[in-house]
Amino acid sequence: MDTTLIFYPLDLSYRLINNKPEFWLFGKTSDKRSICVVDRTYRPYFLIKKGEEFLIDELVRVRIRTGEYIHYVVDIEKIRKDYMGEKIEFIKIYVNLFGAIRTISEAAKKKGLHVFEHDIRTTKKYLLDKNINFFSGYRVIGRKIKRDIKTDLVLEKISMEKTDAKEFEPVILAVNFITLYSFGRKNNSMAAFNLVSKDYNKLFSFLKKDVDSEYDLFIKFKEILEKIRPDIIVGYDSDKFLNHMNKRALFYGLSLNLGLDNSRVRYNKVLKRAKITGIVHLDLKKMINQTFLIVLKQKGYDINFLNSKLSTPPKLGCFVHDKKKLESIFEKSSSDTRVIYELAEEIWPELMNFSSFASNDVYDLSRNSTNSVIETLLMGTAKKENIVIFNKPERIEVSKRYEKKDDPVKKKANPGIYYNTNIIFLDEVYPDYIFKNNLSYETLDCKCCHGRKLAEIFSTCNTNKGLFVKLIEYINRDSVIFKFLKKCFFRYLNYPYARWYSQEVVDMLQDKISIDLIENIKKIIYWDQEIIVSKSAIKDVFVHENASALFLKNSKKYAILTDELIIKNIRKKYYAKFIYEAQTRIIRMILTQKNKIDILKYARECIRLIFEHTLSVSELVINMRLYKNVRDYETDSPLVSAARIMNKKGYVIGKGDEVSYVIVKGAKRLSRRVRLADEVVKKDYDSDYYIEKQLVPAIIPFLKLIGYDQIDLFQGKKQVRLDEFV
């Protein structure tokens, strides 16, 4: 007997069952039961631009063995799709397995056939083709079947259609982990975990005797998850810690099958992502550093505050038996977990809207780069408009695109400070220019009409709207998605790895803006692909008035103060927290026209604080990221030395991880004077290094703009000995 119900899809995976592909849509029903909807109807495919018929016939007869499977074509279908602004006939090649898309399409390319839509990830392609929006309500008709999974219900899909069901309210569970390291151990124990949900807030640790051992801690974690049954698990740096917990469980021979399909946490070593099948997993650390940075800013969050507030959970070491220290760490963990939960609840509606519009899951969207998200939005629009999705560029093509990249600076600024200026943020006007002038890759010099002449080289179509214009049309202009699009769309068009890379559209945008601004060119102080700084207002263009700007000798290094302070290409990665703060404050003081003497006094006060060891060690910690594995670094830099120390102490440190260290006094070379913060007290840090190599280089270029140099900074003396200054 068929079953009909309303459900909300949350996650997607696929399986091969008896050599037949199946898609599993995990979700919740309207009455809060967990469900898995199985779709056996979808057939893997790719497209071939219609060419020589005999080549297609040859392809149909191809058989390719890969391991235990044989890949082959099962069917073909003639279809028409938009390609470069024209309706073109394509052959849809259906294959027996998803893996066959790659092998059969490669065979087609070797025969000289033009292949499309063969390089789209399987689950993404399914979602685009079926136009499935996560967290939206669907009426599904299906028959009950059996699968060895944890959901309350499993249905084989007969039909599925979107409904106007009420908005989905997810069960959110925030998690935080604390590890215990021992000297020389590479696989640190899990010491505690903290869980916060709507009506739940508890910390468990074998150090507090909540459980007897680390093994029991894992059992407890699994039990609570099965009791709360969260739709979303959210943490900070939780990709890393879920993977670590999985490894520790395996150490005890325990299969920590948290997934609703009874699978363990799946970890992608390349992308460093942890996935739990059937449950949406969000890592706030990735979100703060990726796409949803814009969403968080729109919600009024101070990103620097969040990063400092939600620090990576500590690793307990020598103070395990210090009860006060232990309680302090546990309290901090509970506080952090509560912040994580509240933040997830606050931004959830925007995440849901993003996911729904892009026909993609939040798990990917929250971790992807801005360019990847823009591309996903374009792919969704292309599917809706029956437009062929472009292929990813080959390496040779990417290299050519990099060679074409122009200097982004159109007009350089003279070094100095400029008050009462007008700022145009070009990312705010690019989408309007694209929309107003129908700018898209297929509308330039189109065949269907002569077009409107906008520049000497290019013209655009008067008849059909381009893909870029259609995407902008789809989006509500008051939404965070549109604000995101405004911020990132131009950069995507100029991104060499983009499917829809379009140097022609980029050039035309620049040309069109140049035409509009030509009469104001003498007013312009600085102009690049992101901003224009002008002495006075520019007609018919929205400007931020009464702004301040400063430019160093290299005019690509600048700072602008409007509603917020924007600093470009100035900060060094190896600056300590206090140095960043001092540099930022001096820039802000200059741009807000503070008294020059007060600025100099503040700079001298910063020197005094460092020299007299008044600052806490935490303010002088240097945080840097490893871009290679430690063994792959040829030079013995402070970063590499710190990473090696951390590895010896039991931290598992590798490519992509953040390393924190302090420079201490001594006669040895710099890399030999690296220490971890918890090994250093105030009197140990090297004040000479932090003044001479960090503070002075960070602030002296800005002091020079207001007429001071290094001699003024050190009270009229040459910097020979710092103790003479103090």
- 293 contacts 303 by C-beta, under 8 angstroms: yes
Complete DSSP assignment for 652-664 = ---TT-EEEEEEB
In the structure, what pLDDT confidence band is assigned to residue 184 with cuts at 50, 70 and 90?
A: very low
In the structure, what pLDDT confidence band is assigned to residue 691 with cuts at 50, 70 and 90?
A: very high
For the segment 522-557, what is each residue's pLDDT rounded down to a tens digit? 788 998 888 889 887 666 666 788 899 999 987 789
SS3 468: helix
CATH class of 395-568: alpha beta
Residue 316 has pLDDT above 50, yes or no: no
Higher pLDDT, 51 or 492: 492
Of 496, 497, 432, nearest to 468 (Cα)?
432
> What's the whole-number mean pLDDT along residues 444-454?
61
Return the HEC string of 33-95: CEEEEEECCCCCEEEEECCCHHHHHHHHCCEEEECCEEEEEEEEEEEEEEECCEEEEEEEEEE
105-119, 130-144, 472-486, 664-678, range with the lowest pLDDT:
472-486
Which residue is it, tokens 């839509």?
A: 117
For 571, counting Cβ atoms within 10 Å of its Cβ (0-12 exposed, 13-18 middle, 19+ buried), the class is: middle
For the segment 271-295, what is each residue's pLDDT rounded down to a tens digit? 889 999 999 999 988 877 666 666 6
SS3 144: strand
The values of phi and psi at residue 394, to 5°, are -75, 165
256-260, 481-485, 628-632, range with the lowest pLDDT:
481-485
> What's the whole-number mean pLDDT along residues 97-123?
93
Higher pLDDT, 556 or 458: 556
Whole-number pLDDT of residue 282? 92
121-135, 348-362, 678-692, range with the lowest pLDDT:
348-362
Domain spans in the chain, listed from the N-terminal domain onward: 1-166, 172-350, 395-568, 604-725
Whole-number pLDDT of residue 725? 44
Higher pLDDT, 725 or 331: 331
Whole-number pLDDT of residue 454? 45
Whole-number pLDDT of residue 722? 44
| Domains 172-350 and 604-725 agree in fold | no
Residue 618 has pLDDT above 70, yes or no: yes
Residue 652 has pLDDT above 90, yes or no: no
264-273, 457-466, 527-536, 563-572, range with the lowest pLDDT:
457-466
Whole-number pLDDT of residue 656? 75
| Tokens found for residue 161 | 């259609």
Whole-number pLDDT of residue 558? 92
Higher pLDDT, 324 or 339: 339
Q: Domain spanning 1-166: which superfamily?
A: DNA Polymerase, chain B, domain 1 (3.30.342.10)
Residue 686 has pLDDT above 80, yes or no: yes
How far is Cα 655 from Cα 647, in angstroms, rounded to an integer?
13
What's the chain's average pLDDT? 85
Parallel, antiparallel or unpaired: strands 524-527 and 531-534? antiparallel
How far is Cα 398 from Cα 404, in angstroms, rounded to an integer?
10
> What's the whole-number mean pLDDT along residues 452-470?
71
How far is Cα of residue 315 from the mean position of the Cα atoms in its chain?
26
> What's the whole-number mean pLDDT along residues 455-480?
76
339-343, 363-367, 406-410, 539-543, range with the lowest pLDDT:
539-543
Higher pLDDT, 540 or 392: 392
For the segment 1-24, what is each residue's pLDDT rounded down to a tens digit? 789 999 999 999 988 888 888 999
Which residue is it, tokens 């219609």?
A: 50
- 643 contacts 635 by C-beta, under 8 angstroms: no
Domain 172-350 fold is Nucleotidyltransferase; domain 5 (3.30.420)
- 7 contacts 124 by C-beta, under 8 angstroms: no
CA distances from 22 to 26, 39, 42, 84, 131 (A): 13, 6, 8, 34, 17
CATH class of 604-725: mainly alpha
Residue 468 has pLDDT above 50, yes or no: yes
In the structure, what pLDDT confidence band is assigned to residue 304 with cuts at 50, 70 and 90?
A: low
How far is Cα 77 from Cα 91, in angstroms, rounded to an integer?
6
For the segment 231-255, what is each residue's pLDDT rounded down to a tens digit? 999 998 899 889 989 989 999 999 8
Residue 545 CB neighbours (<10 A): 11
Whole-number pLDDT of residue 358? 76
48-62, 75-89, 393-407 — most confident range:
75-89
102-116, 287-301, 387-401, 592-606, range with the lowest pLDDT:
287-301
> What's the whole-number mean pLDDT along residues 593-605?
93
Residue 157 CB neighbours (<10 A): 18
Whole-number pLDDT of residue 185? 44
